[in-house]
Amino acid sequence: IFLLAKELSNYNNVLIITTTKMLIPKNKDIEFFETAEDVNNYTGKNKIIVFGKRIEDSKFGPIDSYELDLVKDKFENILIEADGSKRLPYKAWREFEPVILKETNKTIGIIPSLYLNKHLPEELVFSPELFKENFGFQGILSFKVIKNIILHKDGIFKNAQGEKIVYFNQQKNIDNLVITKEFIKKLKKYDDSIIYKMGKLNENYSNNFGQW
């Protein structure tokens, strides 16, 4: 989310909020505010602004819809972190997840590519039993499992609003790249309205499969 915010901040200020919990950024180039007044009074240009309520020494939580209404007209782009997985790469979504605001006009789901068509250890899955039940997972992160993660009513786009985008992250090598391309080609036959992208976020690399 911060990489996308950095790119967008080349054009305008960008606001980041959460509907769950996030770590308070330590980057001195990112501004953190706890009140709408402070956000609206900020005069910096091409900056990333994080707005939330400090709930722990290192974390902040969501603002309410009234506070969002007070600041939203100040920004062309507002990025909302709407889901968490306790730092695990894969998950199944429980009844109350994810928390997506009605104002959302794009929903981005990130799926790591590292284990495509490979054995996926259960310890890398948040809510593994639900992952098996909902997506047909039996140890291998097969095309069927990925398709179900994306298209199942309780999958990655549960409660989604607006345009849907899947980003396949963690492209490690050429074999991984080939498998991901094959998966995307098949996936588009099921729902060609979903936009697919792939890349390696920590190296700022991406290839576009569909228009952003």
Residues 77 and 96 placed together within one structural domain of the fold:
no
Select from 81, 108, 143 the last residue of a domain: 81
Using DSSP, state whether 75 is helix, strand or coil: coil
Residues 200 and 100 placed together within one structural domain of the fold:
yes
Q: What is the pLDDT of residues 90-119, one digit of tens each?
A: 999 999 999 999 999 999 999 999 999 999
Q: What is the pLDDT of residues 67-93, one digit of tens each?
A: 999 999 999 999 999 998 888 999 999
Select from 81, 110, 137 the last residue of a domain: 81
Residues 11 and 60 placed together within one structural domain of the fold:
yes
Lowest mean pLDDT among 5-19, 30-44, 188-202: 188-202
Question: What is the per-residue pLDDT for 206?
Answer: 52
CA distance 11 to 47: 9
Residues 119 and 139 placed together within one structural domain of the fold:
yes
Q: Return the closest-CA partner of residue 81 out of 64, 65, 96, 101.
A: 101
Percentage of the chain exceeding pLDDT 90: 86
Give the structural domain span for 207. 88-212
Q: Is the pLDDT of residue 209 over 80?
A: no
Residues 18 and 95 placed together within one structural domain of the fold:
no
Select from 28, 53, 81 the last residue of a domain: 81
CA distance 13 to 194: 27
Q: How far apart are the first and last CA of the chain?
A: 15
Residues 77 and 106 placed together within one structural domain of the fold:
no
Question: What is the per-residue pLDDT for 203?
Answer: 55
Q: Is the pLDDT of residue 198 over 50?
A: yes
Question: What is the per-residue pLDDT for 5?
Answer: 95
If you average pLDDT over every residue of the chain, what do you get?
93
CA distance 55 to 53: 6
Residues 136 and 35 placed together within one structural domain of the fold:
no
- The whole-model pTM stands at 0.89
Residues 65 and 102 placed together within one structural domain of the fold:
no
Q: What is the pLDDT of residues 156-168, one digit of tens each?
A: 999 999 999 999 9
Residue with tokens 């090598």: 173
Residues 135 and 203 placed together within one structural domain of the fold:
yes
Buried-state track 96-130, b at ≥16 Cβ within 10 A, e below 16: ebbebeeebeebbbbbbbbbbbeebeeebbbbbeb
Tell me the torsion sign for CA atoms 79, 83, 88, 92: negative
Question: What is the per-residue pLDDT for 159?
Answer: 94
Top pLDDT among 73 and 171 is at 73
Residues 104 and 15 placed together within one structural domain of the fold:
no
Give the confidence band of 202 by pLDDT, cuts at 50, 70, 90: low
Residues 113 and 192 placed together within one structural domain of the fold:
yes
Q: What is the tally of structural domains in the chain?
A: 2
Give the confidence band of 204 by pLDDT, cuts at 50, 70, 90: low
Q: Is the pLDDT of residue 212 over 60?
A: no
Residues 147 and 64 placed together within one structural domain of the fold:
no
Considering only CA atoms, give the Rg of the chain.
18
